[in-house]
Amino acid sequence: MTISKVKGALLALLFTVTLGAATSVQVTADAATYTTVSSKNVTKTAYHKKSTSGAIYNQAHNKRIATMKGYPNTTWYVTKQATLKHSNSKGIYFYVSNKSGSVKGWIWHGYLKKGKAPFGLKYAKNAVALDYTTGKAVWSKNANTARPIASVSKLMTLYLVLDKIDNGSGKWTDIVKTSNSGLVAMGNSASCGGFKFYSNHKYTVKELYDAALLDSSNNAAIALGQWVSGSNAKFIKKMNAQAKSWNLGKASFVSASGLENSDLKAFGYSYGKANANMVSAKDVALIARHLIKDYPRVLTDGSVGSKTVNGQLCYNYNNMLPGRKYYQASLNVDGLKTGYTPLAGYCFVGTGQKAGKHRVITVVLHDENEFTETQSLMNHAYSLGMDA
């Protein structure tokens, strides 16, 4: 029997428990242990998985430590080599450990290949890292595939608000109409609201801008769109026209807020035939680039952790800002926008600038680990260069 068949037979006897890449799994095998024929130290060398096949065991091979499938983007460092025997078969095995040393053990050499693991994001379905200065993508994953983007859509809405103020046809102090019953109901909704429109209050453009940017208020974004264009329908047409003028071929809007029509219908704000705004990660990054380039104040406005707006606390859920869980000082993150709906998943547009480097804009869509993966993506983008 070949060594690969022996391993296959052994694996068939294992009871497998999958806990994800972050957890080492140890399973006892009901089979005779392996014996060591010979062993030697080798120069520390980087390897990575050859495919999703293979697993790491203790030297006796009666406990499984981890699977290659569970660690898709890990670099393994080999420091020992051994010939192990099982029944009448022998094979060459490597002693490996990940960078932190939290996972280590023995694996058949044929499951690995030399070199560090290529960079990848495990959770994001679509992602991109854009060099702000050049406008070029330095890394991407399915970046040209349009998908729902939730409240990240508000970047286009806020751009058009800033554009109206910049061209002199509107002012920050303008009062925005917020009395529509649908907008009031939306603000009172547990799933679609958060920022309330009270009947005895007046709200300025600046207040609703802050509510939409920081608190991701959906009714504020829709009200602002109506202020810009006169109606919700006209504003959505303006969003699409702006995308077309920027040659964004993977951007189509039906909502000023990012809510899907399946939610907006109850409030009287559904529009068009599609259910959701459909935009690619690359086009989202380009929208963010236009916004930052034309209206850099959005970085100052968007880096505020929280703010009281017309008596209501607006909390910024960007957890990469100073003082937050995923803050990394060297990245100098100062924006930009979070988003979530069950359909779109967790979405995040991040931006920051390392000293001596170009600004980076990152987008992750449908990512259950959006801040960790954004931090990894930013650091990887800077490892590729982007010098100022």
> Which residues are known catalytic residues?
151, 154, 216
Cα distances (Å, whole numbers) of residue 36 to 79, 87, 110, 112? 16, 12, 18, 20
With contact defined as beta carbons under 8 Å apart, do 209 and 161 qualify?
A: yes
Q: Are 146 and 365 in contact (CB under 8 A)?
A: no
**212: which DSSP letter?**
H
Tokens for 266, please give them: 């109850």
Residue 363's DSSP bridge partners are: 128, 349
Q: Is 273 left (phi over 0), alpha (psi -120 to 50) or beta?
A: alpha
CA atoms within 13 A on the CB side of 250: 17
Taking the C-alpha atoms of residue 278 and residue 274, their distance in angstroms, rounded to an integer, is 9
Could you tell me the two tokens for 384?
A: 């590729």
The dihedral built from the CA positions of residue 316, 318, 324 and 329, taken in this order, carries a sign that is: negative
Neighbours of 221 (CB within 10 A): 28
210, with CB counted inside 10 A (0-12, 13-18, 19+), is buried
